[in-house]
A and B are shown apart, each in its own frame.
Chain A
C-alpha cells in the first residue's frame, strides 16, 4: 500500500507559467514533508520542505502548500523555467524517524 502517492506521472508546462505538482498521503502520522528534484543519472536533490504545523512554505520560485485535512500537498513553481525539467519526488517522514517514504515521482517538462 503506497503511503505517498503522486498520481500524475508527467506534466508539461510552458516556460514562464506556473507548474503545480501534487502529492497525497495516507499515513496521518507523517508530520514532515519534502520535495526532491532528480535529473537523469544524478541523485535526488532537496528542494523544499514543510512541517505539519505550517500550511505554506516559500523559497524563491518554489512554494509548498500543505492541506492536512485532505492529506494533500502541492509544489508550485512560478515562473517555470526549462532548467526545472526533471522528476520531482514528494517524500514524508513521521516523528523522530529519519527515513523517508517517497512518492513515485512526476516528470515535469517545461517547454521553451
Chain B
C-alpha cells in the first residue's frame, strides 16, 4: 500500500502562532483527508482535500482556522492558525486507495 510521510512528528507552539503540517504520499491519490485526535478521543474528520478544488470542511471546522492546500496528487498541507491550548491534539493525514492509510501523525502541544 501507499506510504505517507508526515512532518513534523511533534511540536510545541506558543499560543497565537500557526503551524503547518505537511504530508507527502509516495504515489498519486485522488482524495486526502485530515483528522484530529484529541486526548482520549476518537479520530474526527476535519476536512477532505482534493487536488484543484477547495477543501470540504466538516461541521465545526472552518477554513480560516485550518487552511488546507492540495497543490498536486501527492502532497497536502494543513495549517493550524492562531493556536490556543484547545488545539493541542494529534493531527493525522490520510489518503485512500481502496482502504485508507495514514501518516504517522503530528502531536501538537500549544502552551
Q: Which residues of A approach B to under 8 Å, CB–CB?
A: 2, 4, 34, 36, 41-46, 49, 89, 91, 98-105
Please give, as numbers and ranges, the residues of chain B lying within 8 Å of A102 by CB-CB distance.
35, 42-44
Contact A46 B1 (CB under 8 A): yes
- Using a CB-CB cutoff of 8 Å, which residues 92-111 of chain B contact chain A? 92, 94, 96, 99-105, 107
Q: Is B45 an interface residue (CB 8 A)?
A: yes
Q: Which residues of B approach A to under 8 Å, CB–CB?
A: 1, 4, 6, 9, 31, 33, 35, 40-45, 48, 92, 94, 96, 99-105, 107
Contact B100 A46 (CB under 8 A): yes
Binding site of B, secondary structure by majority: helix, strand, loop or mixed? strand
Residue from B9, B96, B99 with most neighbouring chain A CB atoms (10 Å): B99
Please give, as numbers and ranges, the residues of chain A lying within 8 Å of B33 by CB-CB distance.
98-100
A106 to B101, CA, bound (A): 19
